Amino acid sequence: MSDSGDMSGTPPWEEEGEEAKPSAAELEAAGQSAMFGDPAPPKQPETPAPAPAAEAPPVKTTPAEPAQPYRVLARKYRPQTFSELIGQDAMVTTLAHAIERDRLAHAFLMTGVRGVGKTSTARLIAKALNCVGPDGQGGSTIDPCGVCEPCRAIAEGRHIDVIEMDAASHTGVDDVREIIEAVRYAAVSARYKIYIIDEVHMLSRNAFNALLKTLEEPPAHVKFLFATTEVDKLPVTVLSRTQRFDLRRIPTPLLQQHFAEICRKEDVEAEPEALALVAAAAEGSVRDGLSILDQAIAHADLESGSDEKAQVTAARVRDMLGLADKGAQRRLFDALLGGDPQAMLAGVDQQYALGVEPLALLRGMMELTHRIAVAQVGNAGSDAPTEEERQAVEEWAGRLSAGQVHRLWQLLLKGHEEVRNAPDPLVAAQMALLRVLHATDLPDPGKLTRQLQDMAANGVAAAPAGEGGSPSAAPSATVDWRELCERVDQAGRLLVANTMRDWVRVIDLAPGRLVYSLKPGLGEDPAAGIREALNEATGQRWQVEIGSGEGMPSLREQEEAARAAEEERIRKAPLVEAALAAFPGAEFVEEDEAPRGDRNWSKQA
Ligand SMILES: [Zn+2]
């Protein structure tokens, strides 16, 4: 989401005289919807809209709408005391100490993304410095009274000694010179003469130079309060002369809480999930969050009858923001992990039909995976927006191993890249998710080992490949299955060879005859392909068919079982056993994951 206030390339003070960018204040005044385009329908030219899709919400787009009750919450709930300023505790503490000890810097710099409260903070500091208390006798305080004349004047923006300047629209040296001239005179009515310069990085180079002279030796009665979204565009000479406060992005749960409180004050009902969505979309900015909330409330007002209370629903907010339904997202994720390709594809289709972009879909899956990983290290789904999601994430976190979660992440990340570059993103998303689904459906090594051991005991198949134990894979002495796979591979039939290695469980193998069963999960019977490939690779006619019975594990299954057995052997070593006891839950991680569809293992045998 790009901020309309951002600028590209060259530092702005080098383009003297150019000032096309609207200031933050102007944006705010303009209905503050800069961030999300202008989703409010009324402002659009009234083309007789050809009735949109059937599911379109029943918003009455009548010309009567311009009277929409925009509340402009951001302005209404601008913090008037430091205790109302949320999420900036560290800064407030520092400032309180500075005021207490009378060690105030001459210039302060407030940095942070837009909407975190930089100008609000600047005004609060101005109040704190100039408050005289209800009785007119008080001194500077971190707790300005809000009722004395200076406090009220500053809140209303009419204090004669608190000069606000927006550097976005006053970039020139003349604007600054004016200030500098005025600096020499004492404050008219207040303790301090305070200059608040917003978006200070927009000042021209000359303006900065002019300002510097004053910053070097400012009169004792003058304070500068700078605010900027782009601190790295400030000359270091300015940075070094200011006390800097980095205002933090406000954490989502705190924002959500804040918005809930505001809805209570506004007498608006809002679903917790709706507020969670707003908070997440706000990306740490109170102001952005409040403008989304504004719109959501306006929509809710329109939808509710005149006698019922407006309700902000999650569905409405999702609609507004073009977000995926979290519930549907979780069902899709479940299908993905559960290895249910039909449910998974149906889920993708459903989301796509609802207008969720394939890329957003992948991102949603990645977000869940990230949550699961975080939950696994003990932060039990703490930032999950809803109780349902928290529960689901915790359940997944318990079910999956850390290794699986990381593999899942890798696969989704790769899928995300593919979808982004694909000519048909939907198809790419389906393919990527199918790949994830098949990869998470790997066999359980423990079970395989047991199966192999049973077989070995019954003398049906060779023992699992240990270190030297070359598995003469074929039950028949005359044809070696592994070698046969290799020949198919060398004949250029790589896919068939992979299928033979990965999925085929040999029941009977003789020259010209293969009877097998399949490891569950392969879509269709590969018999025809294998027959053709064998005919070609051996120059002999083959009879290939599915037989009854289990057959011996496929080569890949054997290899996986062998690896599991080896791991088990290592695990049983006294030292490792002790280590595992010391670090419960630790697991083995191979340094280099063998590439999928690898052919290396055949050389290890
Ligand atoms: Zn006061």
One-character DSSP codes across 480-541: -HHHHHHHHHHTT-HHHHHHHHHTEEEEEEETTEEEEEE-TT-SS--HHHHHHHHHHHHTS-
Q: Ligand 1: distance of its center to the CA of 145 in Å?
A: 4
d(C-alpha 252, C-alpha 161), whole Å:
37
Q: Ligand 1: distance of its center to the CA of 180 in Å?
A: 27
Q: Ligand 1: distance of its center to the CA of 30 in Å?
A: 30
77-81, 421-425, 454-458, 500-504: least confident range? 454-458
pLDDT of residue 184: 77
Q: Is 39 exposed, middle or buried (0-12, 13-18, 19+ CB in 10 A)?
A: middle
Q: Ligand 1: distance of its center to the CA of 266 in Å?
A: 27
Q: Ligand 1: distance of its center to the CA of 168 in Å?
A: 30
Average pLDDT over residues 296-304: 81
Q: Ligand 1: distance of its center to the CA of 9 in Å?
A: 43
For Cα atoms 344, 359, 55, give the angle at the middle one, nearest 5 degrees: 70
Q: Cβ neighbours of residue 50 under 8 Å, at least 6 residues apart? A: none
Average pLDDT over residues 502-512: 88
Average pLDDT over residues 179-199: 84
Q: Ligand 1: distance of its center to the CA of 81 in Å?
A: 10
User: Shortest CA distance to 244 belongs to which of 231, 263, 258, 261?
Assistant: 231
Q: Ligand 1: distance of its center to the CA of 103 in Å?
A: 20
Q: Ligand 1: distance of its center to the CA of 146 in Å?
A: 5
Q: Ligand 1: distance of its center to the CA of 196 in Å?
A: 18
Percentage of the chain modeled with pLDDT above 90: 17
d(C-alpha 529, C-alpha 435), whole Å:
21
pLDDT value at 15 more than 50: no
d(C-alpha 224, C-alpha 218), whole Å:
9
First to last CA, the chain: 54
Q: Ligand 1: distance of its center to the CA of 229 in Å?
A: 29
Q: Ligand 1: distance of its center to the CA of 78 in Å?
A: 17
Per the prediction, the chain carries an average pLDDT of 76
Q: Ligand 1: distance of its center to the CA of 85 in Å?
A: 17
DSSP strand pairing (193-198 vs 311-312): unpaired
Contact 285, 256 (CB under 8 A): no
Task: List 196's β-bridge partners, or say none.
Answer: 164, 225
What are the tens digits of pLDDT across the range 339-357? 888 999 998 988 887 777 8
Q: Which helix (H) or strand (E) holds 324?
A: none
Q: Where are the beta strands (DSSP E) in 68-150?
A: 107-111
Average pLDDT over residues 487-496: 85
Q: Cβ neighbours of residue 246 under 8 Å, at least 6 residues apart? A: 91, 111, 112
pLDDT of residue 436: 87
Q: Ligand 1: distance of its center to the CA of 494 in Å?
A: 80
For Cα atoms 164, 170, 172, give the angle at the middle one, nearest 5 degrees: 130
Question: How many other β-carbons are positioned within 10 Å of the β-carbon of residue 50?
Answer: 5
Q: Ligand 1: distance of its center to the CA of 357 in Å?
A: 52
pLDDT value at 478 more than 80: no
Average pLDDT over residues 119-131: 92
Q: Ligand 1: distance of its center to the CA of 472 in Å?
A: 90
pLDDT of residue 454: 59
Between 36 and 145, residue with greater pLDDT? 145
Q: What share of the chain is helix, strand, coil (3-state, %, to 5)?
A: 50, 10, 40
For Cα atoms 340, 343, 349, give the angle at the middle one, nearest 5 degrees: 135
Average pLDDT over residues 573-582: 57
Q: Ligand 1: distance of its center to the CA of 134 in Å?
A: 6
Q: Ligand 1: distance of its center to the CA of 286 in Å?
A: 25
Q: Ligand 1: distance of its center to the CA of 200 in Å?
A: 27
Domains, the chain, in order of start with CATH, read: 88-246 (3.40.50.300), 326-439 (1.20.272.10), 443-605 (no CATH)
pLDDT of residue 352: 84
Q: Which helix (H) or strand (E) holds 200?
A: none
Q: Ligand 1: distance of its center to the CA of 88 in Å?
A: 21
Average pLDDT over residues 223-242: 89
pLDDT of residue 35: 38
Give the 3-state secondary structure of residue 473.
Answer: coil
pLDDT value at 600 more than 50: no
pLDDT of residue 68: 46
Q: Ligand 1: distance of its center to the CA of 133 in Å?
A: 5
Q: Ligand 1: distance of its center to the CA of 280 in Å?
A: 35
Q: Cβ neighbours of residue 473 under 8 Å, at least 6 residues apart? A: 461, 462, 480, 481, 482, 506, 552, 555, 558
pLDDT value at 258 more than 90: yes
d(C-alpha 191, C-alpha 521), whole Å:
79
What are the tens digits of pLDDT across the range 386-420? 677 788 888 888 888 888 888 889 999 999 999 99
Q: Ligand 1: distance of its center to the CA of 83 in Å?
A: 15
Q: Ligand 1: distance of its center to the CA of 360 in Å?
A: 49
3-class SS letters over 438-461: HHCCCCCHHHHHHHHHHHHHHCCC
Average pLDDT over residues 540-557: 86
